[in-house]
Amino acid sequence: MLKEGKILATSTGYYLYGFTDCKQLMDLPGKSVAGGSSAQNIPFHGIGVLSNPVNGKAVKPTRENLMSHQKILEFMMKEYTVLPVRFGIVAQSRGALNNGIKLNLPIIRANLQKVTRKRELNVKSFWENSFIYEHILEKYTEIRKFRDRIKNLRGTQGHYKRIELGQMVERALIIENENEAESIIKEISPAALQYKKSKIFGELMFLNLSVLVNDDTEPHLDQLVNKAAENRKGKVQFKYTGPSPPASFVNIHLKF
C-alpha cells in the first residue's frame, strides 16, 4: 500500500503526475495541481509515484493547473528519471490508485527503463512575415504574373480574382512549409534518438518538433539547432524549449 506520508485521508481523489526511479519519500516544492496538499514522491513496489490528494474526481485544465503539473515533473527530472502521464488523471481513492498501479507495474517499469537518462526538447519554427510572401512572389513566377495582371481589377471580378490569388499563395506556402520543415529536421536529426512532429498553429508556423535525446547528446542538439537558426537568420524564427520529461514519446493508458 502507498505510504501515507502527509496525504490527507479526507480527500476524495488522488491526482497522478507520473512515476520516477526515486525510491524515497519526498515532499515536492511548489504549488500542486488543483490546490491540493503538497505533491509527494511516494515509494511503491520499487518505483516512485508522484501524486497529491485533491478534492473531487476531476481537475480543470486551467493554465495554473497545467503549469503546476509540468513544474512538478521538471523538478524531479533534475535528479531522477521521470515517466510522465497525461494531464488530468485522478484516481477516485487511494485504494484505486494502488490497484491501478499494481495492474500496470510491468508497463510502468518497462517505460521507466525506456526513458532512463532521456529528455525531450521542442523546436518550433516560424517564417518571418517580411520574408516568406516576398519569397513566394519571387520564386513562383506564375503567382507574381497573376498578381500583376489583376491588381487594377475592381468590383466583383477583382474580388474573386484576389481570392484565387490567395489560394495560389496558400498552395505555394504549403510546399515551402513542407520543404523547409524537412530541411531543418534533416539538419538536427543526427542528435536525436527519436523525433515527432506535432500540430502547427497559425499561418507562419511550419514546424513543431519534439526531439528525444540522451542527457549527453543534448549539447549536440543545441549546436545543431543554433546552426540551423543562424543559417536562416532573417527568414525563419526559432523557438527552442526544454528540457522536459519525454511525454511525447511514452503512451501509457491508466484506468482507475
For 96-126, write each residue's pLDDT tens digit.
Answer: 888 889 988 999 999 999 899 899 999 999 9
Domains and CATH numbers, the chain: 13-116 (no CATH), 119-248 (3.30.70)
- 255 has pLDDT over 80: no
- 92 has pLDDT over 80: yes
The per-residue pLDDT for range 183-225, each reduced to its tens digit, is 999 999 999 999 999 999 988 999 999 999 998 899 999 999 9
CB 66 within 8 A of CB 31: no
CB 233 within 8 A of CB 225: no
CA angle 156/157/163 to nearest 5° reads 90
Ramachandran assignment for 60, one of left (phi > 0), alpha (psi -120 to 50 degrees), beta (any other): beta
Q: What is the CA radius of gyration of the chain?
A: 24
Residue at 229: amino acid letter: A
Q: Identify the sign of the CA torsion 53, 54, 57, 58.
A: negative
Residue 228 CB contacts under 8 Å (≥ 6 apart), including other chains: 184, 187, 188, 238
The per-residue pLDDT for range 7-50, each reduced to its tens digit, is 334 447 888 999 999 999 999 887 888 776 688 999 999 999 99
Task: Report the alpha-carbon distance of residue 87 to residue 52 in Å, rounded.
Answer: 13
Highest mean pLDDT among 37-41, 43-47, 140-144, 236-240: 236-240
Per-residue model confidence (pLDDT) at position 121? 95
The SS3 call for residue 129 is helix
Name the β-bridge partners of 168.
Answer: none
Whole-Å CA distances, 148 to 85, 139, 162: 54, 15, 11
Per-residue model confidence (pLDDT) at position 37? 67
Name the β-bridge partners of 19.
Answer: 49, 83
Name the β-bridge partners of 84.
Answer: 18
Reported as a pLDDT band with limits 50, 70 and 90, residue 256 is: low
The SS3 call for residue 212 is strand
Give this prediction's pTM.
0.79
Name the β-bridge partners of 207.
Answer: 125
Whole-Å CA distances, 176 to 94, 146, 172: 52, 19, 6
The per-residue pLDDT for range 35-90, each reduced to its tens digit, is 766 889 999 999 999 998 888 767 888 898 898 999 999 999 988 999 999 888 88
